[in-house]
C-alpha cells in the first residue's frame, strides 16, 4: 500500500518563493549554496533582472545572503551547510564527487544524506548498487533504495522500478509505477505507458487517466516568469 500510494508531489517539492511545483528538469532550478533552497528558474530569472535594472548587490532570492563572488566563496558557503548536516548540501556534494570519479566519497555523502531522509540520495544509492560503482552490485539494496526514493516521490526511481517489474514479467506492477510517475509530470514514464497500451497490456481508461494526471502536473509547474526565463534561454 505504501509503495503504490500516489505522492502529493514530487520529491523536489515547491519553489519556496512562488510556491509552484518545481520542474523535474534539474536545469530549471538552482540550489542556493547559502541556504540549500531549490529556487525555480522563474524566480531566479526575475530576481536577476531586478538586480540588474536597479543596479543593486546580488543576493540569494530566498535568504538574501550576498551572492558568492568566487567559486571558492561558494564552496565555503556550501561547506558550512555540510558541516551543519544539511541533507540537501550533502546530496549535492555526493553528486559532485561522483562526477569527479570519487565514488567512495560520493557513497559516504549520499549515505549520510539518505539517513537524514533525502529522497534523491536514496535514488543515487540505488543506482550505485545497480551499476557497482564504488560498491559491490547488490540487487536487494538496489531495490530497497529505489523503493525508498519512489515512496518519497522520486519519478526517476519509479521509472527504474517499472523497468525492473517489466523484466520480471509483472506488468501490472510496472504499469502502476509508471502511472504514478506520469502523474508527477514525468515524460519518459508517460511515453512508456503509451507503448504498453499499444502492445495491449493496459486499458484505454488507465492511459487516459494517466494523460490527464500528467497534463495537470505539467500545467501546475508553469508560470509567466518561468516561461520568460525559457524564452530568454535563462538557465540556473
* Cα(185)–Cα(159) distance, integer angstroms: 12
Instruction: Tell me if 153 sits within 8 A of 179, measured CB to CB.
Output: no
Nine-digit cell string for 39:
529556487
Cα dihedral 133, 137, 138, 144, rounded to 10, equals: 30
* Cα(108)–Cα(179) distance, integer angstroms: 33
What digits encode the pLDDT tens for the residues 7-30?
999 999 999 999 999 999 999 999
* Cα(160)–Cα(174) distance, integer angstroms: 9
Among 2, 35, 41, residue whose Cα is nearest residue 18 = 41
* Cα(181)–Cα(193) distance, integer angstroms: 10
* Cα(31)–Cα(38) distance, integer angstroms: 4
pLDDT along the chain (236 residues), means of 10: 95 97 95 96 96 95 94 93 96 96 97 98 98 94 98 98 96 98 98 97 97 98 96 82
User: For residue 236, what pLDDT is reported?
Assistant: 66
User: For residue 38, what pLDDT is reported?
Assistant: 96
Predicted structure pTM score: 0.93
Instruction: Tell me if 89 sits within 8 A of 112, measured CB to CB.
Output: no
- What average pLDDT is seen over the chain? 96
* Cα(70)–Cα(61) distance, integer angstroms: 18
Amino acid at each position: 500500500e505504501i509503495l503504490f500510494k500516489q505522492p502529493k508531489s514530487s520529491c523536489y517539492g515547491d519553489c519556496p518563493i512562488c510556491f509552484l511545483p518545481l520542474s523535474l528538469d534539474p536545469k530549471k532550478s538552482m540550489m542556493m549554496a547559502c541556504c540549500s533552497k531549490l529556487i525555480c528558474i522563474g524566480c531566479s530569472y526575475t530576481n536577476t533582472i531586478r538586480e540588474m535594472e536597479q543596479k543593486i548587490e546580488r543576493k540569494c532570492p530566498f535568504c538574501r545572503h550576498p551572492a558568492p563572488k568566487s567559486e571558492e566563496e561558494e564552496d565555503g558557503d556550501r561547506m558550512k551547510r555540510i558541516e551543519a548536516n544539511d541533507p540537501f548540501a550533502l546530496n549535492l556534494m555526493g553528486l559532485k564527487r561522483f562526477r569527479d570519479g570519487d565514488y567512495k566519497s560520493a557513497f559516504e555523502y549520499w549515505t549520510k544524506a539518505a539517513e537524514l531522509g533525502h529522497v534523491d540520495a536514496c535514488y543515487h544509492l540505488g543506482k550505485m548498487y545497480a551499476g557497482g560503482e564504488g560498491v559491490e552490485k547488490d540487487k536487494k539494496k538496489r531495490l530497497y533504495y529505489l523503493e525508498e526514493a519512489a515512496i518519497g516521490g522520486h519519478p526517476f526511481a519509479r521509472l527504474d522500478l517499472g523497468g525492473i517489474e517489466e523484466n520480471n514479467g509483472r506488468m501490472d506492477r510496472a504499469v502502476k509505477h509508471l502511472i504514478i510517475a506520469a502523474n508527477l509530470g514525468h515524460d519518459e514514464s508517460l511515453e512508456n505507458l503509451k507503448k504498453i497500451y499499444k502492445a495491449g497490456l493496459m486499458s484505454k481508461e488507465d492511459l487516459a487517466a494517466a494523460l490527464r494526471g500528467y497534463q495537470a502536473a505539467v500545467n501546475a509547474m508553469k508560470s509567466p516568469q518561468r516561461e520568460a526565463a525559457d524564452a530568454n534561454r535563462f538557465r540556473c
